[in-house]
Amino acid sequence: MDINSLIKDYLSHLEVERGRSIKTVENYGHYLRRFLNWSKIDKPSQIDADLIRDFRLYLNRLEEKGKSLKKVTQNYHIIALRNFLKYLAKRDIKSMAADKIELAKQTPREVDFLEGDELSRLLKAPDGDSLRSLRDRSLLELLFSTGLRVSELCKLNRDSFNLEKGEFSVRGKGEKIRVVFISETAKVALKSYLAKRRDIEPALFVRITKGKKTGGKLDAIQPQNNKAKQVRLSEFRLTPRSVQRIIKQYAIKAGITRHVSPHTLRHSFATDLLMSGADIRSVQTMLGHSSITTTQIYTHITDKQLREIHKNFHGKKRN
């Protein structure tokens, strides 16, 4: 079987058996195709240590839009290739052993988060009682309250949770289900927003037309393709890109000069928990990280706290 066919089988395996998202499958396909286009091989048995080393050198020198590939992006290529080799091994197809490939060391990720006055200004930025303002306020509060990924947020429906209960289950990466919790502030914001909605669209966060005083009726929400004669219900739903634009808009309004994204609020959620004394294992569970290693990007926060404790309490009894 040629390697192109095996990669197609592997990508199908990722989607069907492993339950990976369409986006993940697309990314893996991109990384593996880049390897194939560069290597010009047609059989898995042609993959060896020398080929992998040369591929890594190629990635390290590769430029996209005038910029070198980040180490983390280079590693994504290697992770995809390594997992593909594991798949081949399970099918008893001869190739290089995946455990012989090590990932490159990379500098720790910097966590960009908001706290204090910046966070408060952002959450208060959507003022007024229009449907749009109520939607945006509840969207920001829910992101900070739950630490949801933007893709998870956009999939939510109005019947996804019970506001009185204050918690709900979400299906995250790898189809893993976890429980997230809604703060009292987020509950109030969501109740106000949902009370204003007069449509039957199931999506929680929907597109809204500008400048139309419709009292929250159906024509107050707008499909992604408003020129279509027949509109599918899913086209009313906000997309991750739309949420990014909304957050950027309110960050500017709040006077925050640095880049703020949906993931900034996810980082802010985790940071807030850790700075308030939560243990890192609990934070791992609430974020839906499969490995504690991923959650350890936040350890710099606890390190700062330890430094302050050391400064304030160490050696105070010495003369």
Q: Which residues make Cβ contacts (< 8 Å) with residue 252, sequence separation at least 6?
A: none
- Does 154 score more than 50 pLDDT? yes
pLDDT for the residue numbered 214: 44
Ranking 38-52, 230-244, 298-312 by mean pLDDT, the lowest is 298-312
- Residue-range domains of the chain with CATH: 3-100 (1.10.150.130), 116-306 (1.10.443.10)
Using CA atoms, how far apart are residues 77 and 71, in angstroms rounded to an integer? 10
Ranking 46-60, 85-99, 272-286, 290-304 by mean pLDDT, the lowest is 290-304
Using CA atoms, how far apart are residues 82 and 86, in angstroms rounded to an integer? 6
Using CA atoms, how far apart are residues 5 and 40, in angstroms rounded to an integer? 14
For residue range 26-70, list pLDDT tens digits in order: 999 999 999 999 999 999 999 999 999 999 999 999 988 888 888
Whole-model pTM?
Answer: 0.68
* 116 in Cβ contact with 254 (< 8 Å): no
CA-based torsion, 76, 81, 85, 88: positive or negative:
positive
Using CA atoms, how far apart are residues 1 and 144, in angstroms rounded to an integer? 49
- Does 133 score more than 50 pLDDT? yes
Q: Which residues make Cβ contacts (< 8 Å) with residue 142, sequence separation at least 6?
A: 148, 153, 182, 186, 189, 190
Residues involved in catalysis: 149, 173, 263, 266, 289, 298
- Does 319 score more than 60 pLDDT? no
